[in-house]
């Protein structure tokens, strides 16, 4: 078991799929762990972690567009902060991903990258990474 690591990112839009694959790769490499499990966790209520397409950028924008259609910004929500849609979308994405570490790298499909899914930006966000060897 290694120490819990973290990194910060700055998102630049209200809704954004921010690629954090390189950040995660760096932490795994620095840990020296060749085989194990890596948990990537968003410590926020309006931004989640997901894995999806890394080739066609239209997939990222289509995902954000689809989530906007499914969860409109204004829909008579009660939460006084006015950002209930961001809370709902973050929960839909989930706040963590568990990734297999193989040969010192995250085991991802050819077309997969890891994303911080921002739904109430732009903001500075903190992502935690826990690596378990095994």
Q: Which residues bind Zn ion (CB under 5 A)?
A: 81, 83
Minimum CB separation of residue 86 from Zn ion in Å reads 7
User: Whole-angstrom Cα distance, residue 52 to residue 84?
Assistant: 24
Q: Which is nearer to Zn ion, 11 or 83 (CB)?
A: 83
Minimum CB separation of residue 121 from Zn ion in Å reads 13
Minimum CB separation of residue 119 from Zn ion in Å reads 10
Under the phi-then-psi rule, with left for phi > 0, alpha for psi from -120 to 50, and beta for the rest, what region is 94?
left
User: Whole-angstrom Cα distance, residue 86 to residue 46?
Assistant: 5
Q: Which is nearer to Zn ion, 54 or 83 (CB)?
A: 83
User: Whole-angstrom Cα distance, residue 125 to residue 41?
Assistant: 11
Q: Which is nearer to Zn ion, 26 or 79 (CB)?
A: 79
């Amino acid at each position: 078991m290694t120490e819990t690591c973290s990194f910060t990112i700055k998102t630049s839009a209200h809704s954004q799929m921010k690629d954090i694959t390189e950040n995660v790769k760096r932490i795994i490499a620095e840990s020296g762990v060749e085989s194990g499990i890596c948990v990537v966790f968003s410590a926020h209520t309006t931004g989640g972690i997901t894995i999806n397409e890394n080739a066609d950028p239209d997939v990222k924008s289509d995902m954000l567009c689809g989530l906007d259609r499914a969860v409109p910004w204004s829909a008579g929500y009660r939460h006084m902060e006015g950002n209930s849609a961001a809370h709902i979308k973050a929960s839909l994405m989930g706040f963590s991903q568990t990734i297999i570490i193989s040969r010192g790298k995250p085991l991802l499909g050819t077309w997969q990258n890891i994303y911080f899914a921002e739904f109430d930006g732009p903001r500075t966000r903190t992502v935690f990474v826990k690596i378990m060897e095994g």
